[in-house]
Amino acid sequence: LKILQMEVDKKLSQLQELKEDLDQMFAQKDEVERDKVKKLSMIYQKRDPSGAAATLASMDKYLAVSILSMMRDKSAGKILDQMDKKTAVEYSTALGRLKRLQSNDE
């Protein structure tokens, strides 16, 4: 039984190490994605609001909202003003939820 217990403990230790490695890899992946979204937000922030609005409205909602969330509020507002009402409401609602979640995390 002691030998089996030692083997189980060893396996648990290995699994814990693997879990920590995976957690670190996911954190790195998240950081890379955040950096890419931040760069995109700077690009869209510099674009004409109507062109940016059209492009953001046609892309994945999660990505579009992430891009808008990293912009200055004034720029994001100008872009949202150029979207159709339904899309602007959806994105604004998602932005509000995202901002609440971020402030709760801090």
Per-residue pLDDT of the chain (106 residues), as tens digits, is 899 999 999 999 999 999 999 999 999 999 999 999 999 999 999 999 999 999 999 999 999 999 999 999 999 999 999 999 999 999 999 998 876 656 566 5
Please provide the distance, in angstroms rounded to a whole number, between the alpha carbons at the two ends of the chain: 47
pTM as predicted: 0.74
Q: Report which of 57, 60, 37 is spatially closest to residue 49, judged by C-alpha positions.
A: 57
Q: Report which of 27, 93, 36 is spatially closest to residue 70, judged by C-alpha positions.
A: 36
